[in-house]
Structure 1
Amino acid sequence: MKTTKYGVMLLASVLAFGAVTMNTAEAKLPAKAVVSDVKQAKTIVIKGSDAMQFDLKEIKVKAGQKVKLTLTHSGKLAKAAMGHNWVLLKPGTDVAAFGSKAAAARETEYIPASEKASILAHTKLVGGGESDTVEFTAPAKGTYTYICSFPGHYALMKGTFIVE
Protein backbone atom coordinates (compact mmCIF):
# COMPACT_ATOMS: atom_id res chain seq x y z
CA MET A 1 0.00 0.00 0.00
CA LYS A 2 2.85 2.37 0.70
CA THR A 3 4.05 1.90 -2.87
CA THR A 4 0.61 2.79 -4.19
CA LYS A 5 0.43 5.86 -1.96
CA TYR A 6 3.86 7.06 -3.14
CA GLY A 7 3.00 6.17 -6.72
CA VAL A 8 -0.11 8.34 -6.55
CA MET A 9 1.90 11.19 -5.01
CA LEU A 10 4.55 10.86 -7.72
CA LEU A 11 1.91 10.82 -10.45
CA ALA A 12 0.23 13.88 -8.93
CA SER A 13 3.59 15.68 -8.82
CA VAL A 14 4.32 14.87 -12.47
CA LEU A 15 0.87 16.03 -13.53
CA ALA A 16 1.17 19.24 -11.51
CA PHE A 17 4.62 19.94 -12.99
CA GLY A 18 3.24 19.28 -16.48
CA ALA A 19 0.36 21.67 -15.85
CA VAL A 20 2.71 24.39 -14.60
CA THR A 21 5.01 23.85 -17.57
CA MET A 22 2.06 23.90 -19.98
CA ASN A 23 0.62 27.08 -18.40
CA THR A 24 4.01 28.77 -18.65
CA ALA A 25 4.25 27.83 -22.33
CA GLU A 26 0.70 29.01 -22.95
CA ALA A 27 1.42 32.29 -21.18
CA LYS A 28 4.20 32.95 -23.69
CA LEU A 29 2.01 32.28 -26.74
CA PRO A 30 -0.09 35.48 -26.68
CA ALA A 31 3.08 37.62 -26.72
CA LYS A 32 4.30 35.73 -29.79
CA ALA A 33 0.86 35.98 -31.36
CA VAL A 34 0.88 39.77 -30.94
CA VAL A 35 4.30 40.01 -32.58
CA SER A 36 3.27 37.82 -35.50
CA ASP A 37 -0.04 39.71 -35.87
CA VAL A 38 1.89 42.94 -36.43
CA LYS A 39 4.21 41.26 -38.94
CA GLN A 40 1.34 39.74 -40.91
CA ALA A 41 -0.71 42.00 -43.14
CA LYS A 42 -4.32 42.36 -42.06
CA THR A 43 -6.62 41.86 -45.05
CA ILE A 44 -9.95 43.65 -44.83
CA VAL A 45 -12.80 43.64 -47.33
CA ILE A 46 -15.47 46.29 -46.82
CA LYS A 47 -18.51 46.74 -49.01
CA GLY A 48 -20.44 49.87 -49.87
CA SER A 49 -23.97 49.54 -51.21
CA ASP A 50 -26.47 51.51 -53.27
CA ALA A 51 -28.26 52.10 -49.94
CA MET A 52 -25.27 54.25 -48.82
CA GLN A 53 -24.06 51.82 -46.18
CA PHE A 54 -20.74 50.20 -45.34
CA ASP A 55 -21.15 46.59 -44.25
CA LEU A 56 -18.52 47.10 -41.51
CA LYS A 57 -19.07 49.72 -38.83
CA GLU A 58 -15.90 48.82 -36.93
CA ILE A 59 -12.46 47.60 -37.97
CA LYS A 60 -9.73 46.54 -35.51
CA VAL A 61 -6.01 46.29 -36.28
CA LYS A 62 -2.71 46.37 -34.36
CA ALA A 63 -0.51 49.47 -34.24
CA GLY A 64 2.19 49.27 -36.91
CA GLN A 65 0.45 46.40 -38.71
CA LYS A 66 0.37 46.37 -42.50
CA VAL A 67 -3.22 46.75 -43.68
CA LYS A 68 -4.56 45.71 -47.08
CA LEU A 69 -8.08 47.09 -47.37
CA THR A 70 -10.32 46.40 -50.36
CA LEU A 71 -13.45 48.46 -50.90
CA THR A 72 -16.05 46.74 -53.06
CA HIS A 73 -19.14 48.53 -54.35
CA SER A 74 -21.81 45.84 -54.03
CA GLY A 75 -24.47 47.92 -55.80
CA LYS A 76 -25.25 48.50 -59.46
CA LEU A 77 -25.27 52.29 -59.76
CA ALA A 78 -22.45 54.08 -61.60
CA LYS A 79 -19.89 56.04 -59.62
CA ALA A 80 -21.20 59.34 -61.03
CA ALA A 81 -24.55 58.66 -59.35
CA MET A 82 -23.57 56.55 -56.31
CA GLY A 83 -19.78 56.39 -56.06
CA HIS A 84 -18.06 55.22 -52.91
CA ASN A 85 -14.59 55.52 -51.48
CA TRP A 86 -13.04 54.70 -48.12
CA VAL A 87 -11.21 57.53 -46.36
CA LEU A 88 -9.39 57.11 -43.02
CA LEU A 89 -9.20 60.42 -41.18
CA LYS A 90 -6.77 61.64 -38.56
CA PRO A 91 -8.16 62.12 -35.03
CA GLY A 92 -9.67 65.52 -34.46
CA THR A 93 -10.76 65.99 -38.07
CA ASP A 94 -14.14 67.73 -38.28
CA VAL A 95 -16.02 65.20 -40.39
CA ALA A 96 -18.78 67.62 -41.45
CA ALA A 97 -16.26 70.28 -42.53
CA PHE A 98 -14.21 67.64 -44.35
CA GLY A 99 -17.37 66.31 -46.05
CA SER A 100 -18.35 69.80 -47.15
CA LYS A 101 -14.95 70.40 -48.77
CA ALA A 102 -14.98 66.91 -50.29
CA ALA A 103 -18.34 67.59 -51.98
CA ALA A 104 -16.68 70.38 -53.97
CA ALA A 105 -13.73 68.21 -55.06
CA ARG A 106 -15.33 66.27 -57.92
CA GLU A 107 -12.24 66.53 -60.13
CA THR A 108 -10.16 64.67 -57.50
CA GLU A 109 -12.80 62.00 -56.76
CA TYR A 110 -14.00 63.90 -53.69
CA ILE A 111 -10.61 63.93 -51.98
CA PRO A 112 -10.04 67.65 -51.31
CA ALA A 113 -6.45 68.73 -51.89
CA SER A 114 -6.76 71.24 -49.04
CA GLU A 115 -7.47 68.39 -46.61
CA LYS A 116 -4.72 65.90 -47.56
CA ALA A 117 -3.07 66.48 -44.16
CA SER A 118 -6.24 65.10 -42.50
CA ILE A 119 -6.16 61.82 -44.46
CA LEU A 120 -4.20 58.74 -43.38
CA ALA A 121 -5.31 56.49 -46.26
CA HIS A 122 -7.98 56.32 -48.95
CA THR A 123 -9.20 54.26 -51.88
CA LYS A 124 -10.21 55.50 -55.30
CA LEU A 125 -13.85 56.23 -56.02
CA VAL A 126 -15.66 53.12 -57.28
CA GLY A 127 -19.05 52.49 -58.89
CA GLY A 128 -21.34 49.47 -58.87
CA GLY A 129 -19.44 46.20 -59.24
CA GLU A 130 -16.02 47.86 -58.95
CA SER A 131 -13.41 47.61 -56.23
CA ASP A 132 -10.15 49.23 -55.20
CA THR A 133 -7.43 48.21 -52.75
CA VAL A 134 -5.23 50.42 -50.60
CA GLU A 135 -2.26 49.26 -48.53
CA PHE A 136 -0.93 51.21 -45.56
CA THR A 137 0.62 50.81 -42.12
CA ALA A 138 -1.77 51.15 -39.19
CA PRO A 139 -1.15 54.34 -37.24
CA ALA A 140 -0.57 54.68 -33.49
CA LYS A 141 -3.00 53.19 -30.99
CA GLY A 142 -6.26 55.06 -30.91
CA THR A 143 -9.69 55.40 -32.41
CA TYR A 144 -10.07 56.83 -35.89
CA THR A 145 -13.04 57.58 -38.15
CA TYR A 146 -13.48 56.35 -41.70
CA ILE A 147 -16.02 57.71 -44.17
CA CYS A 148 -17.12 57.76 -47.77
CA SER A 149 -16.44 61.29 -49.03
CA PHE A 150 -18.87 61.20 -52.00
CA PRO A 151 -21.22 64.21 -51.53
CA GLY A 152 -23.58 63.63 -48.61
CA HIS A 153 -22.48 60.05 -47.94
CA TYR A 154 -20.35 60.75 -44.86
CA ALA A 155 -23.47 61.15 -42.70
CA LEU A 156 -24.40 57.48 -43.19
CA MET A 157 -21.26 55.85 -44.52
CA LYS A 158 -18.87 56.01 -41.60
CA GLY A 159 -17.27 53.72 -39.09
CA THR A 160 -14.66 53.35 -36.40
CA PHE A 161 -11.11 52.19 -37.09
CA ILE A 162 -9.65 50.93 -33.82
CA VAL A 163 -5.90 50.54 -33.50
CA GLU A 164 -4.86 48.42 -30.52
Structure 2
Amino acid sequence: MKKLVVVCLAAVAFSCGESKKEEKPELNISTQMEEKTAPAEATDSKVAVVSIEGNDQMKFNKDEIRVKAGQTVKLTLTHVGKMDKAVMGHNWALLTQDADMAAVGQAAAAAADNDYIPEDMSDKIIVYTKMLGGGESVTIEFEAPAAGTYTFMCTFPGHYALMNGKFIVE
Protein backbone atom coordinates (compact mmCIF):
# COMPACT_ATOMS: atom_id res chain seq x y z
CA MET A 1 0.00 0.00 0.00
CA LYS A 2 2.85 2.42 0.85
CA LYS A 3 4.42 1.75 -2.55
CA LEU A 4 1.15 2.56 -4.31
CA VAL A 5 0.85 5.88 -2.44
CA VAL A 6 4.45 6.78 -3.29
CA VAL A 7 3.90 5.93 -6.97
CA CYS A 8 0.70 8.01 -7.07
CA LEU A 9 2.40 10.99 -5.40
CA ALA A 10 5.31 10.78 -7.83
CA ALA A 11 2.92 10.69 -10.79
CA VAL A 12 1.05 13.75 -9.50
CA ALA A 13 4.30 15.63 -8.85
CA PHE A 14 5.57 14.99 -12.39
CA SER A 15 2.25 15.81 -14.05
CA CYS A 16 1.96 19.14 -12.24
CA GLY A 17 5.24 20.55 -13.51
CA GLU A 18 5.23 23.94 -15.16
CA SER A 19 4.72 24.05 -18.90
CA LYS A 20 7.66 25.04 -21.02
CA LYS A 21 8.04 26.73 -24.38
CA GLU A 22 8.42 24.56 -27.45
CA GLU A 23 12.18 25.23 -27.44
CA LYS A 24 14.41 22.27 -28.09
CA PRO A 25 16.63 21.93 -25.00
CA GLU A 26 20.33 21.36 -25.30
CA LEU A 27 20.78 17.64 -25.71
CA ASN A 28 22.49 15.76 -22.96
CA ILE A 29 24.32 12.48 -23.46
CA SER A 30 21.29 10.30 -22.78
CA THR A 31 19.09 12.08 -25.31
CA GLN A 32 21.86 12.27 -27.86
CA MET A 33 22.42 8.55 -27.60
CA GLU A 34 18.76 8.11 -28.63
CA GLU A 35 19.19 10.44 -31.60
CA LYS A 36 20.41 7.85 -34.08
CA THR A 37 19.69 9.46 -37.44
CA ALA A 38 20.44 13.06 -38.06
CA PRO A 39 20.69 15.27 -41.08
CA ALA A 40 23.54 17.70 -40.97
CA GLU A 41 22.79 20.91 -39.13
CA ALA A 42 23.35 23.24 -42.07
CA THR A 43 24.62 26.73 -41.42
CA ASP A 44 24.06 27.45 -45.10
CA SER A 45 23.55 25.33 -48.19
CA LYS A 46 27.30 25.09 -48.81
CA VAL A 47 28.35 23.92 -45.32
CA ALA A 48 27.00 20.93 -43.43
CA VAL A 49 27.77 21.09 -39.71
CA VAL A 50 27.81 17.62 -38.15
CA SER A 51 28.40 16.67 -34.50
CA ILE A 52 28.92 13.08 -33.44
CA GLU A 53 29.88 11.56 -30.10
CA GLY A 54 31.61 8.38 -29.03
CA ASN A 55 31.36 7.01 -25.50
CA ASP A 56 33.01 4.51 -23.15
CA GLN A 57 30.45 1.86 -24.19
CA MET A 58 31.91 1.81 -27.74
CA LYS A 59 28.95 3.56 -29.37
CA PHE A 60 28.45 6.54 -31.60
CA ASN A 61 25.32 8.58 -30.88
CA LYS A 62 24.40 8.51 -34.58
CA ASP A 63 24.29 5.63 -37.01
CA GLU A 64 23.35 7.74 -40.02
CA ILE A 65 24.51 11.13 -41.28
CA ARG A 66 23.06 12.88 -44.35
CA VAL A 67 24.72 15.63 -46.38
CA LYS A 68 24.54 16.99 -49.92
CA ALA A 69 27.09 16.12 -52.61
CA GLY A 70 29.80 18.75 -52.87
CA GLN A 71 28.99 20.40 -49.53
CA THR A 72 31.78 21.31 -47.20
CA VAL A 73 31.30 19.07 -44.18
CA LYS A 74 32.43 20.45 -40.83
CA LEU A 75 32.41 17.37 -38.59
CA THR A 76 33.10 17.50 -34.86
CA LEU A 77 33.81 14.27 -33.00
CA THR A 78 33.58 14.41 -29.21
CA HIS A 79 34.62 11.55 -26.93
CA VAL A 80 32.09 11.97 -24.11
CA GLY A 81 33.57 9.16 -22.04
CA LYS A 82 36.25 9.33 -19.39
CA MET A 83 38.67 6.58 -20.45
CA ASP A 84 42.12 7.31 -21.87
CA LYS A 85 42.68 6.89 -25.60
CA ALA A 86 45.11 4.00 -24.97
CA VAL A 87 42.20 2.05 -23.45
CA MET A 88 39.08 3.41 -25.18
CA GLY A 89 40.24 5.65 -28.01
CA HIS A 90 37.83 6.81 -30.69
CA ASN A 91 38.18 8.36 -34.10
CA TRP A 92 35.87 8.80 -37.08
CA ALA A 93 36.87 7.47 -40.47
CA LEU A 94 34.88 7.70 -43.71
CA LEU A 95 35.42 4.77 -46.05
CA THR A 96 35.12 4.62 -49.82
CA GLN A 97 32.03 2.91 -51.19
CA ASP A 98 33.98 -0.20 -52.19
CA ALA A 99 35.84 -0.54 -48.87
CA ASP A 100 35.29 -3.65 -46.75
CA MET A 101 34.76 -2.35 -43.21
CA ALA A 102 35.97 -5.58 -41.58
CA ALA A 103 39.15 -5.62 -43.69
CA VAL A 104 39.88 -1.98 -42.80
CA GLY A 105 39.13 -2.69 -39.13
CA GLN A 106 41.43 -5.69 -39.03
CA ALA A 107 44.25 -3.82 -40.76
CA ALA A 108 43.73 -0.86 -38.42
CA ALA A 109 44.32 -3.08 -35.38
CA ALA A 110 47.90 -3.57 -36.52
CA ALA A 111 48.50 0.14 -37.15
CA ALA A 112 49.00 1.41 -33.59
CA ASP A 113 52.02 3.47 -34.68
CA ASN A 114 49.83 5.37 -37.14
CA ASP A 115 46.88 6.16 -34.83
CA TYR A 116 45.15 2.97 -36.06
CA ILE A 117 44.91 4.21 -39.64
CA PRO A 118 46.35 1.43 -41.83
CA GLU A 119 48.71 2.91 -44.43
CA ASP A 120 48.16 -0.04 -46.76
CA MET A 121 44.43 0.80 -46.79
CA SER A 122 44.79 4.54 -47.37
CA ASP A 123 43.00 4.17 -50.72
CA LYS A 124 39.93 2.89 -48.82
CA ILE A 125 39.70 5.82 -46.36
CA ILE A 126 38.43 9.18 -47.63
CA VAL A 127 38.99 11.20 -44.45
CA TYR A 128 39.50 10.60 -40.73
CA THR A 129 39.97 12.35 -37.41
CA LYS A 130 42.79 11.83 -34.97
CA MET A 131 42.30 9.34 -32.13
CA LEU A 132 40.69 10.87 -29.02
CA GLY A 133 40.57 9.97 -25.36
CA GLY A 134 37.77 10.75 -22.91
CA GLY A 135 36.78 14.40 -22.77
CA GLU A 136 38.55 15.33 -26.02
CA SER A 137 37.08 16.78 -29.19
CA VAL A 138 38.29 17.42 -32.74
CA THR A 139 36.82 19.12 -35.80
CA ILE A 140 37.70 18.34 -39.42
CA GLU A 141 36.48 19.85 -42.68
CA PHE A 142 36.20 18.03 -45.98
CA GLU A 143 34.18 18.08 -49.18
CA ALA A 144 31.35 15.56 -49.29
CA PRO A 145 32.06 12.90 -51.91
CA ALA A 146 29.76 12.01 -54.81
CA ALA A 147 26.17 11.00 -54.12
CA GLY A 148 25.89 7.54 -52.59
CA THR A 149 26.04 5.63 -49.34
CA TYR A 150 29.35 5.35 -47.51
CA THR A 151 30.35 3.71 -44.24
CA PHE A 152 31.88 5.54 -41.30
CA MET A 153 33.61 3.77 -38.42
CA CYS A 154 35.99 3.99 -35.49
CA THR A 155 39.31 2.30 -36.32
CA PHE A 156 40.41 1.61 -32.73
CA PRO A 157 40.96 -2.18 -32.46
CA GLY A 158 37.66 -4.04 -32.32
CA HIS A 159 35.46 -0.94 -32.25
CA TYR A 160 34.28 -1.12 -35.85
CA ALA A 161 31.82 -3.92 -34.99
CA LEU A 162 29.74 -1.50 -32.88
CA MET A 163 30.97 1.95 -33.89
CA ASN A 164 29.89 2.36 -37.48
CA GLY A 165 27.14 3.90 -39.53
CA LYS A 166 26.03 5.19 -42.90
CA PHE A 167 27.15 8.48 -44.39
CA ILE A 168 24.52 9.25 -47.01
CA VAL A 169 25.36 11.81 -49.66
CA GLU A 170 22.29 13.05 -51.53
TM-score (norm 1): 0.76
Task: Answer 1 or 2: which has greater helix percent.
Answer: 1
**Separation in 2 of the partners of 1:40 and 1:63?**
10
Residue 93 of structure 2 corresponds to: 87
What's the offset of the Cα at 1:37?
8.1
Q: Alignment length, in residue pairs?
A: 129
Q: Distance in 2 between matches of 1:44 and 1:159?
A: 14
Q: 122, 147, 155: which is aligned to 2:161?
A: 155
SS at match of 1:110: coil
Please give the root-mean-square deviation of Cα atoms over the aligned residues, in Å.
1.4
Q: Does 1:102 align with 2:92?
A: no
Scaled by the length of structure 2, what TM-score is found? 0.74
Q: CA deviation at 1:40?
A: 2.5
Detail structure 1 runs of 4+ shifted over 4 Å in the superposition: 36-39
Distance of 1:138 and 1:37 partners within structure 2: 15
What amino acid does structure 2 have at the position aligned with 1:128? G
Identity of aligned residues (%): 57
- 1:1-164 equivalences under 5 Å are 39-164=45-170
Q: Give the whole-Å Cα distance in 2 for the aligned partners of 1:124 and 1:37.
A: 24
Deviation at 1:133? Answer: 1.1
Q: What is the alpha-carbon distance in structure 2 between the residues aligned to residue 128 and residue 57 of structure 1?
A: 20
Is there any run of 5+ residues in structure 1 with no aligned partner, and where? Answer: 1-35
Structure 2: which amino acid aligns with 1:100?
Q
